[in-house]
Structure 1
Amino acid sequence: MTQVDRRGFGRQVLAVESGSVLVATILLVVVIGVLRPAFLNPGQLLDVLNSSVYVALLAAGMAFLLAMREIDLSVGATFGLTLVSTAMMIRSGVNAWLACVIGILLGALLGLVNALVVRYIAIPAFVATLATMQLFRGLAVALGDGQQVNGLPLEDSFFTVLGGDLLGIPVAVWILAVVTAGLTAVLRWTPFGYRVRSIGSNPDAAAFSGISIANTRTLVLVLVGALGGLAGVLGLAFFTSGDPNIGAGFELQAIAAAVIGGTPLRGGVATVVGAVFGAILLGVVSSGLVYFNIPANWNGFATGLVVLVAVGVDSALRSRRRARENQFGL
C-alpha cells in the first residue's frame, strides 16, 4: 500500500468510525471560539481534551456493550473505586507503578464480578450493574471514610509522567489514542469483535452458529472494567488525590457519548472512535457553559439536550436512508 493509499485508507476509516460527531465537535468549538475567543487558546483546548479522557475510555468500552445490546451502569463507580484504592495503596507505601497495575487489574476484577452476577444469578446486565454500582460506590466511600485520600508523593514518577505532557500533549491523551486504535482494530478486524457484533445483530442466530453469548459477555464486561481501572489510575495521576465521590454520573455520560458517536442502542453496530469523539463533544459542551457563565448545575440539562438532538438526527438520517433504499428497490 503506497503512502497516498494509506492516507486515503486512514481518512476512510476515520469517516466511517466518527461519522458526523467529529464535524459537530469542530463546529461547536468554532462557534464558542467566535463568541468567546479565549476558548480557542491551545492550552484551554488541551485542558478540554484531557478532562474528556476518563469518560472517553469508559465510552470506548461501552461501545462494545451497546453493540451486544448490553449496558454497564457501574463504570463510574468502578472508576471511583479504582482511583481511591490506588491512592490508598500509594499512601500506604506500595510502589506507585505497581499500585497502578493493581488498580487496572482491580477494575478488571470488578468487571468479572459483574459478569458472574449476570451469568449465575441470571439477571440482565442493566439490573446487575445497577446493584453493583451502589456496591462499588459505597465501598469507595467506606474505604476512604468519606474523605479525600491525600498525602501522596506527588514527586513520584507516576504522577510526573502520567500526569504530565509528551510533545506538548497530555500523556493521558496519548494513552487514549493508543487504546482507541487498539479497540477499534479488535472490534472491526478480529473474531472477538465479530462475535460481539453478531450477538448484537441477532442473538439467536449467533447462538445457533456456536458463539457463546455468556463467554463473550464475560470478556466484554472484564474489558469494560479494565478500562474503568485504567481511567481511574489516570485520573489519580491528574487529580493527585482520591475522592470517593468522583466519577458519579460518568456511566450516563459514557452511554451518552457512545450514542452520540454513532453506536445505536439496537445493537450489532458500534464505533469506538465515535464514542471517544462523543465524549470530547460532551467535554466541549461542559467547558463552553463555563465560558458563558452558565452554572454547572445546567451540565446535565445540556448533556441531555445534546443526546436528544444527536439521537433525533441519527433517527431522521436512518429513516431517510431506508426511504431512499425502498424507493430504488435496494
Structure 2
Amino acid sequence: MFRPYSAGLRRLLGRPQPDFFARAVESWQEAPAATLRFYPALALPGQIDRIRQSVFASLPDTIEALTRDGEKTEGPTVAWRFRHVDLIDGVLFSNGAELHLRPRRRRFGLAGRPNRTISGALYETWVTNRWFGSWLMDELVTWPLAEGTGRPLRTGQPPKPGSHAARYLELAGATPGHVSGDVHFDELILFGDLANNADKARRQRELRARLVKGRELQPLPGVFLLRGNSGDPRVLSNERDLADRLATERGFRVIDPLIASVDEIVDACGAARMIVGVEGSQMVHGVAAAPAGAGIIPIQPPDRVAATLKQLSDRLDQRFGLVVAEGEGSAFSLDWSDLAGTLDLFE
C-alpha cells in the first residue's frame, strides 16, 4: 500500500500511530552518554516565584534545568537508518508511521507517488524548521553528523542569498544538498541529537570557533539584542528604555538583529562580557558567538519561561542569569533594578 495512505487509513480507523523510529532497520550511537557538571542560574531572590508557565518542557523540568546544581547524566546522540521512506509534503512516511518535518502545504498532504528516488541523511527537525534560534543552536550543530555520512540533505529551498541563514551556513562550512518536492528515499539516516552531552558541547564549541575565526574581536562590556515585535508575540514594553540605560550606564552596544548583518553581530558578541535581551531566537545570535565565561541574561516573560538558552550556554561554558519580568500574557515589563541587580551578580 502507498505509505501515506496507509498512515491516513490508520487515523480514519482510530488506530494508534506507530512509532516512526521503530521502523528503522539499524540504529547506533554517534556519541555516548556523559555525566557532566552543571551550575544553577544566577538570580536575585524571588525570581523563580515569578514563573507561571513554561514552554518546550514542563514547568518542573524547566525549573530543574535552570536551577540544576551538580552532576547529571545526559543521554547519547543516536542515529537511525531506514529503508524505503517517502517524503510527501514535508512528512516522512514509513510503513504506516509518519514523522512531520514541516507544516503541510496541501490540504490532504498527498499527491501521486514520488517520481524521484534518492538516499541521504537529514539533520533537521520540526522544531529547527519552526524556529530560527533552534536552527542555529541545534541544526547547525547536528550538521557535522550528517556531513560524516557523505550525503547531507535538507528539505525545502536553500536560504536566500544575503540572509542570516545563508551567511551562517557559509561560516560553518555547511553545504547540504536540498530536497524539494516529493521524493522516495531508498535509504535514509536521521539523528537524535537533543541530549546535551559532551560531544554536542564539543561540536557547539567548534561552531563558535568557525564563527569567530579570523576576526579582530574587541572586548565589550555587553551587548543588548533587541527583539521588538519580531517573531512570536513577546513584547517587553520598556525594552528600549532598558537598552538605552545599559548603553549609557554600562557601556553596552545595542543591536537590532533584524537590521544588523551576521558579521556585525558576531563581531560585537564574539568578545562581549554579557549578552542581554528578551528570551527568544534573536538571543541565539549572541550566545552562539559569545566566549566562554560570558554572562547570558535572557529576560523571561513570566508566562513563557524557557531553559533552552541555558542548555546552549552550558555547552559553551558560559554563565547564565535568570531574570523574570512581570505582566500578563505576551506583554510584560522589567524594572531596571531587577536587571541591574542581576548584572551585578556576575561581578
Normalised-by-shorter TM-score class = under 0.3
More helix by share: 1
Higher RCO structure, 1 or 2 (CA under 8 Å, sep 6+):
1
Larger Rg: 2
